């Protein structure tokens, strides 16, 4: 009987996959607690946390409740938090005036958080949509969002947040020139160390619905969408142009939003600019995953960590994610 010698390649890639220790040794990307930023909704009133209907296990927190809620994640190593307001309708108007009050919920929250937890990084959104009666990110003039009128308000808002103690300002409004105007104003006021993380490529996505409900900014008045100032979902070269502009205007970091459907944008931005690059796993992504978990289609922790490694592999230095509490529990154990 003739023996047939089987020929195998010298390299068997399965060798390093066979055991846990060797998989860890050759892992190309690492994911740590420092990579996550927790987006938190702060309520302007109330005495207890309130469940957001479209986002299971995500809540709005009155500030005193949030201070207590932060005790556990801080012990687990939470590095940074991003604050978003829930504003009642009676405090809104066409120009988002409440955004420019030092007594608004975000300004008060920043001060108290920094007093209680001085080492945590506090990131504040610069945009008017939670504060305007029409739910747009800027000022409406002649039926359109007026770029230059909006800039004046956004600069005022940014300076107020810096004065309150915010470490990072994150303009998410997508007005042209806002990074440069904010940077110039910060320099003039001697806020030399205040960082700007620009939402450089914020797409006009369908995945923001639960967020808008969470901040009470769900009903857009004419114009009925944000396509005139947010990025076209079909474009990537334009996104690189946006990133380049914001870097030239003084951004310290850039953000791509949404996250998972736009991994190609994250990857290209990181490759072209080598800037600190962040992804936002937005509310719609969160809600879709949680819906699949609820229906036993996906294993919760497995899919959460898989998405995190997808962001890291694409080039993200950090990820804004509502899964932060679950991630902290997993990694701290």
Instruction: Kindly tell me if the per-residue pLDDT of 301 is higher than 70.
Output: yes
Instruction: Kindly tell me if the per-residue pLDDT of 1 is higher than 70.
Output: no
Query: How do residues 143-183 score in pLDDT, each as one tens digit?
Result: 999 999 999 999 999 999 999 999 999 999 999 999 999 99
DSSP alpha helix (H) spans, 117-262: 147-164, 178-188, 209-214, 237-248
The pLDDT score that the predictor gives to residue 38 is 98
Which candidate, 155, 129, 279, 287, places its Cα nearest to that of 212? 129
pTM for the full model?
Answer: 0.94
Query: How do residues 124-144 score in pLDDT, each as one tens digit?
Result: 999 999 999 999 999 999 999
Quote the CA–CA distance of 322 and 237 in Å, as a whole number: 29
Cβ atoms 171, 263 nearer than 8 A: no
The pLDDT score that the predictor gives to residue 76 is 97
Instruction: Kindly tell me if the per-residue pLDDT of 291 is higher than 90.
Output: yes
Report, as an integer, the average pLDDT of 267-273.
98
The pLDDT score that the predictor gives to residue 45 is 84
The pLDDT score that the predictor gives to residue 15 is 86
Which domains, ranges and CATH numbers included, belong to the chain?
33-332 (3.20.20.70)
Q: Which residues are catalytic?
A: 202, 257
Mean pLDDT of the chain: 95
């Amino acid at each position: 009987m003739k023996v047939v010698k089987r020929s195998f390649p010298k390299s068997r890639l399965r060798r390093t996959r066979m055991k846990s220790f060797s998989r860890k040794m050759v892992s190309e990307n690492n994911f740590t607690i420092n990579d996550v930023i927790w987006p938190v909704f702060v309520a302007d009133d109330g005495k207890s946390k309130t469940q957001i209907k479209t986002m299971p296990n995500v809540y709005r927190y009155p500030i005193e409740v949030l201070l207590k809620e932060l005790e556990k994640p801080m012990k687990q190593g939470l590095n940074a938090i991003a604050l978003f307001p829930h504003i009642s309708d009676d405090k809104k108007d066409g120009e988002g005036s409440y955004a420019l009050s030092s007594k608004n919920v975000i300004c008060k929250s920043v001060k108290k958080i920094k007093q209680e937890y001085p080492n945590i990084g506090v990131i504040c959104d610069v945009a008017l949509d939670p504060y305007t009666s029409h739910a747009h990110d800027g000022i409406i003039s002649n039926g359109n969002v007026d770029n230059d009128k909006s800039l004046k308000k956004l600069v005022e808002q940014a300076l107020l947040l810096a004065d309150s103690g915010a470490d990072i300002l994150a303009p998410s409004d997508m007005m042209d020139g806002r990074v440069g105007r904010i940077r110039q104003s910060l320099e003039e006021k001697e806020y030399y160390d205040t960082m700007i993380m620009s939402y450089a490529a914020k797409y006009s996505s369908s995945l923001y619905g639960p967020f808008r409900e969470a901040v009470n900014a769900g009903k857009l008045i004419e114009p009925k969408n944000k396509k005139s100032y947010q990025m076209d979902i079909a474009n990537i070269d334009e996104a690189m142009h946006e990133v380049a502009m914001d870097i030239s205007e003084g951004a310290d970091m850039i953000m791509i939003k949404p996250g998972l459907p736009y991994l190609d944008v994250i990857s290209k931005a990181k490759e072209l600019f080598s800037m600190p690059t962040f992804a936002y796993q937005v509310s719609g992504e969160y809600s879709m995953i949680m819906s699949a978990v609820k229906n036993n289609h996906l294993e919760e922790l497995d899919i959460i960590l898989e998405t995190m490694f997808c962001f890291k592999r694409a080039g993200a230095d950090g990820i804004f994610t509502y899964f932060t509490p679950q991630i902290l529990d997993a990694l701290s154990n």
